[in-house]
Structure 1
Amino acid sequence: MTTELLSLLCLGLCLGYEGEKKNEKLPKPSLHAWPSSVVEAGSNVTLKCQAHSQNVTFVLCKVNDSGYKHEQSSAENQAEFPFTDLKPKDAGRYFCAYKTTASHEWSESSERLQLVVTDKHDELEAPSMKTVAHICNPRTLGR
């Protein structure tokens, strides 16, 4: 009878410990753009969400666009969300989160990442930084 009581006590403690782990908040993931968060229209970029765990499901969302939600499962601790042939409508603030099979709840959201899509035409018309620096240099203003 004492063995049965100890077994039940151990089982209760073990289940209670696992329950606590399930209710822990998952750490915030990180979100990065590759090759850059400022890209030309028509080019490609990949948003990479990285978690602190493996075998998770990731979600990528866009701020102020409740219809934009992409989920991806990964055996690794990161997921890649590729964007091809970028358009101005793809610009905006993105964030990601993840959940593990044990937690069933989403982690905190990552920091927001601002994706900027530039127009090639606008870039050609803008003066270079060297030109602006030369124009605004006090030594060259008197010339």
Structure 2
Amino acid sequence: MITEFLSLLCLGLSLGREEDKIERLPKPSLSAWPSSVVGSNSSVTLTCQAPLRNATFELRKVNDPGYRRERSSADRGAEFPLTRLGPEDAGRYFCVYKTRASREWSENSEHVQLVITDKHDELGGPSIKKVAHAYNPSTLGG
């Protein structure tokens, strides 16, 4: 009787240790379409891809803990459209995901640096930087 009890106790302890060894989900990937460099007031779609189906995806922004956008998908990815972009939207983004079976979010994806440009720069016209430089008194002789 004591032997059976000790065997069950050892089995319970070893099962408990296995639960502590839950591995993190593999890292997803994040991409920007049409590009990670876009004009002001335009749109971009950030797509998070994972190796597993039926996941909940979350888009996050570095140094902005309040920025979280969530999407569920039956596929291996989720799209996050960002529209009417302004200077405040520039920055580094990353994504994570979790499945129904997982209790924690995956590892973070690599960061995507979103750059918002002045429309004049994009179209080859003068930008504020170029105009300011051309008018800089230190560049004039005299």
1:29 and 1:122 map into 2 onto residues whose CA distance is 33
Which residue does 1:119 correspond to in 2? Answer: 118
Which residue does 2:108 correspond to in 1? Answer: 109
Residue 106 of structure 2 aligns to a residue whose secondary structure is coil
Which residue does 2:79 correspond to in 1? Answer: 80
Residue 121 of structure 1 aligns to a residue whose secondary structure is helix
Which residue does 2:88 correspond to in 1? Answer: 89
1:73 and 1:108 map into 2 onto residues whose CA distance is 17
2:36 and 2:43 map into 1 onto residues whose CA distance is 11
1:1-143 equivalences in 2 (<5 Å): 23-123=22-122, 124-125=125-126
Aligned residue pair count: 113
Give a deviation string over 1:30-79, Cα, whole Å, max 9, x none: 00000000000111100000001000000100001111111111111100
Residue 125 of structure 1 aligns to a residue whose secondary structure is coil
Unaligned runs of 5+ in 2: 1-10, 128-142
Structure having the larger proportion of residues in helix: 1
The one-letter code sitting in structure 2 at the alignment partner of 1:125 is P
1:103 and 1:67 map into 2 onto residues whose CA distance is 23
2:37 and 2:120 map into 1 onto residues whose CA distance is 15
Residue 32 of structure 1 aligns to a residue whose secondary structure is strand
TM-score normalised according to structure 1 size: 0.71
Structure 1 runs, 4 residues or longer, greater than 2 Å off: none
1:35 and 1:122 map into 2 onto residues whose CA distance is 17
Residue 105 of structure 2 aligns to a residue whose secondary structure is coil
Unaligned runs of 5+ in 1: 1-11, 127-143
